[in-house]
Amino acid sequence: MTPLKNDRYLRALLKQPVDVTPVWMMRQAGRYLPEYKATRAEAGDFMALCTNPELACEVTLQPLRRFPLDAAILFSDILTIPDAMGLGLYFETGEGPKFKQPIVDKAGVDNLPIPDPEDELKYVMDAVRTIRKNLKGEVPLIGFSGSPWTLATYMIEGGSSKAFTKIKKMAFADPEILHALLDKLADSVILYLNAQIAAGAQSVMIFDTWGGVLSPRDYKLFSLQYMEKIVAGLTREYDGQKVPVTLFTKNGGMWLESIAATGCDAVGLDWTIDIAEAKARVGDKVALQGNMDPSILYAPAPRIEQEVQDILAGFGEGEGHVFNLGHGIHLDVPPENAGVFVDAVHKYSAQYHK
């Protein structure tokens, strides 16, 4: 494999010295870029873009041509696993993802296959291989999956939800059915992420987008224990290099210590927790990724730069910080504002790495 020219992202996740704080953005390949919109139009629709390895590679690389980002992230969707299980994923304009056959009972769970990553999900692995080849060692490639709980919310609700009544009804009326689904999803995610690593992903991330809708007890019961199972099952070294694992629970700030205790290398933070407090609570146990409010990118350049400086100062000196947004970049953010953000992280972080 080609040696990395810029490995500061991987080094930061492993709490090793870096010259400046590395930065990437959630959803950095996406709708805020006009070139992305053009490629998506060429593909025809979102899933056609995801399932075309060459076009998925193209949109993965687009933000790297604009900004000096320290990592690329695979362009895909968190719902690839449920789709490969045969639930009939489709996208309604303006409404997001939906499933034709949502899970409603034990038979639905029992009948779910565990997808073969090099068969039903081969298009994802082909995208990883294509991206890794085209990166030419410039920066590392991040692979990812949704968490079992987050995937299950879509599979049971039939799409996006605000109240999560269907999955919570199952959690409290038929918990054994939900646990069977979550366990099957955890096994599927382990296979999926390990296949991404074998195909060339140099770090992996688990997005627990909806873990924050649970109570503290139920978060550990229905979300965290399954992410912990995944962490334990992942390939942590490949081709002579360590493969760091990051867990991100949106609205999960109250559970930082528990997340850090799973064995992961880094914990992703959203903007609802102060990074200084987060660092004080987890100490040197894990690296931290985050955590600027994506909406700051609507602000004028000086305000964006000030926010970057405040977060850097909050983390302070020492290693183990990957700068990121607290969630995905908004689709109507001007691309030049994203450039201000990325440049500011590199410009103002050097003083914290001596």
> Is residue 290 pLDDT above 80, yes or no?
yes
Q: What pLDDT digit, counting tens, does each position of 54-93 carry?
A: 999 999 999 999 999 999 999 999 999 999 999 999 987 7
Catalytic residue among 27, 32, 36, 126: 27
Closest to 128 (Cα-Cα) out of 199, 64, 190: 199
The model's confidence at residue 94, banded by pLDDT at 50, 70 and 90, is confident
Q: Which domains does the chain carry?
A: 8-352 (3.20.20.210)
* Parallel, antiparallel or unpaired: strands 287-289 and 266-268: parallel
31 annotated active-site: yes
The model's pLDDT over 97-111, given as tens digits with 9 standing for 90+, comes to: 999 999 999 999 999
State percent of the chain over pLDDT 90. 96
77 is catalytic: yes
The structure tokens 């991040």 sit at 142
Annotated binding site: 27-31, 77, 154, 209, 327
pTM: 0.98
Tell me the β-bridge partners of 292: 325
Instruction: Spell out the residues 6+ positions from residue 59 whose beta carbon is closer than 8 angstroms to its own.
Output: 29, 30, 36, 39, 40, 49, 75
- Point out the annotated binding site for substrate: 27-31, 77, 154, 209, 327
CB 313 within 8 A of CB 349: no
State the chain's maximal CA–CA distance in angstroms: 58
Which residue bears the tokens 């689709």? 331
Catalytic residue among 9, 32, 36, 154: 154
- Provide the 10 A C-beta neighbour count for residue 303: 14
Q: 128 pLDDT exceeds 90? A: yes
Angstrom CA distances, 104 to 110, 157, 177, 215, 242, stand at 11, 9, 9, 23, 40
pLDDT band at 1 (very low <50, low <70, confident <90, very high): low
Give residue-wise pLDDT tens across range 217-243. 999 999 999 999 999 999 999 999 999
| Token reading at 95 | 């409404």
From 7, 77, 126, 208, active-site residue: 77
Distances (CA, A) of 274 to 257, 281, 288: 15, 11, 12
Please state the separation of Cα 25 from the chain's center in Å.
10
Position 2 scores a pLDDT of: 72
The one catalytic residue in 40, 66, 129, 236 is 40
| 40 given a catalytic annotation | yes
